[in-house]
């Protein structure tokens, strides 16, 4: 039998830990749920955003955080007939968690989601609920979870959002990596290979700087370097991540170049050949 004094001590320790976790839920950041319109129109999609403002020295994580961290997640609680798209992620940054490389955001950032309402809404107002979960890190990490809500009146036409919110949304749209026809991607290794060998060719004078794997096939640990193979061609070889998704058919990635960020993808070749894939715009 457990000594009652020990039992009480364990309870106090557990309670203290729970209280510390609750108090630290928003350590290092401030969250705001915003909308591009101050009203909601039946049948008309609107963009909403989770704006994350970081305190100096803190960061949260991208959709593929790398070898450390947990990606921010959004779970929507919507009225019947409403739909929410997956979030659009602004381009990531290379971050450090206690010296370990990761993919995330030190800058303030807004995750964009499209909410599609039904053609008919019978209420005067609509409340959009979002359960946000995140990991915010500096020298130490603080996991957090919070239910945010946004209540909008229903109207026949949209109304302007507050200027500050519109600025955040516009900035996020500019930071979403876009496809580019100027880059041709060729995977020189099959999907089963332990090393991913990728060739990049540009039609002009842009140069690759680094890349971020969307789905975790490449972790944040290896330093990305490109070997120039011609006037407009580069090759990089990177180890496949330990927890890479099994049997991928393609490699989606964000490429940082001397001209910004681009969302690209390449198709894995058969075991004995290579296939070229060019992104659409």
Give per-residue pLDDT as tens, 147-167. 999 999 999 999 999 999 999
Residue-level pLDDT at 230: 85
Residue 84 above 60 pLDDT? yes
What tokens appear for 169 in the block? 């949304």
Mean pLDDT lowest for which of 8-12, 28-32, 204-208, 275-279?
Answer: 8-12
Compute φ and ψ for 264, nearest 5 degrees.
Answer: -125, 170
Query: 259 phi and psi, to 5 degrees?
Result: -125, 20
> 24-175 and 183-278: same fold?
yes
Q: 272: pLDDT confidence band, cut at 50, 70 and 90?
A: low
Please compute the mean of the pLDDT values over residues 237-266 and round it to a whole number.
96
pLDDT at residue 140 above 80? yes
260: left (phi over 0), alpha (psi -120 to 50) or beta: left
Is the confidence at residue 238, as pLDDT, over 80?
yes
Question: b or e along 209-246 (b: 16 or more beta carbons within 10 Å of the residue's beta carbon)?
Answer: eebbbbebbbbbeeebebeeeeebebbbbbebbeebee
Binning pLDDT at 50, 70 and 90, where does residue 213 land?
A: very high
Question: What's the CATH fold of domain 24-175?
Answer: Immunoglobulin-like (2.60.40)
What is the reported pLDDT for 139?
87
Mean pLDDT, the chain, rounded, equals 88
Residue 11's pLDDT band (boundaries 50, 70, 90)?
very low
Question: Would you kindly state where each structural domain of the chain is located, as residue ranges?
Answer: 24-175, 183-278
Q: How confident is the model at residue 208 (pLDDT cuts 50, 70, 90)?
A: very high
From the candidate CATH numbers 1.10.30, 2.40.160, 2.30.110, 2.60.40, the one assigned to the domain spanning 183-278: 2.60.40
pLDDT band at 270 (very low <50, low <70, confident <90, very high): confident
Whether 189 shows a pLDDT value over 90: the answer reads yes
Could you tell me the pLDDT band of residue 94, with boundaries at 50, 70 and 90?
Answer: very high
Most confident of 15-19, 83-87, 139-143: 83-87
DSSP string, the chain: ---HHHHHHHHHHHHHHHHHHHHTTTTTEEEEEEESBSSB-TT--EEEEEEEEEPTT-BEEEEEEESS----EEEEE--TT-EEPPPBPPP-EEEEETTEEEEEESS-EEEEEEEE--S---SSEEEEEEEEEEEEESSSEEEEEEEEEEEEEB-SS--BPPHHHHHHHHHHHHHS-B--TTEEEEE-S-TT-SEEEEEEEESSS--EEEEEESSSSS-SSSPP--EE-SSSEEEEEEEPPTTPPSS-SEEEEEEEETTEEEEEEEEPPPTT--EEEE---
Are 158 and 39 in contact by the 8 Å Cβ rule? The answer is: yes
């Amino acid at each position: 039998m457990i000594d009652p004094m020990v039992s009480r001590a364990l309870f106090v320790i557990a309670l203290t830990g729970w209280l510390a976790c609750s108090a630290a839920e928003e350590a290092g950041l401030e969250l705001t749920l915003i909308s591009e319109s101050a009203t909601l129109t039946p049948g008309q999609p609107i963009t909403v955003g989770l704006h994350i403002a970081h305190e100096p020295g803190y960061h949260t994580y991208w959709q593929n955080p790398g070898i450390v961290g947990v990606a921010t997640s959004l779970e929507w609680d919507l009225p019947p007939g409403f739909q929410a798209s997956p979030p659009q992620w602004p381009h990531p940054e290379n971050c450090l968690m206690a010296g370990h490389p990761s993919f995330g955001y030190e800058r303030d950032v807004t995750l964009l989601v499209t909410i599609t309402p039904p053609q008919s809404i019978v209420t005067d107002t609509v409340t959009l609920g979002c359960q946000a979960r995140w990991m915010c890190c500096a020298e130490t990490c603080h996991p957090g979870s919070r239910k945010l809500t946004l209540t909008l009146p229903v109207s026949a036409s949209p109304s302007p959002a507050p200027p500050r919110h519109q600025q955040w949304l516009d900035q996020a749209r500019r930071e979403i990596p876009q496809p580019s026809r100027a880059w041709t991607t060729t995977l020189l290794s099959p999907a089963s290979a332990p090393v991913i060998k990728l060739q990049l060719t540009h039609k002009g004078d842009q140069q690759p700087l680094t890349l971020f794997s969307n789905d975790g096939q490449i972790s944040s640990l290896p330093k990305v370097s490109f070997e120039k193979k011609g006037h407009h061609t580069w090759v990089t070889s990177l180890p496949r991540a330990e927890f890479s998704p099994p049997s991928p058919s393609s490699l989606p990635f964000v490429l940082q170049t001397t001209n910004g960020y681009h969302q690209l993808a390449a198709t894995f070749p058969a075991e004995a050949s290579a296939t070229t894939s060019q992104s659409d715009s």
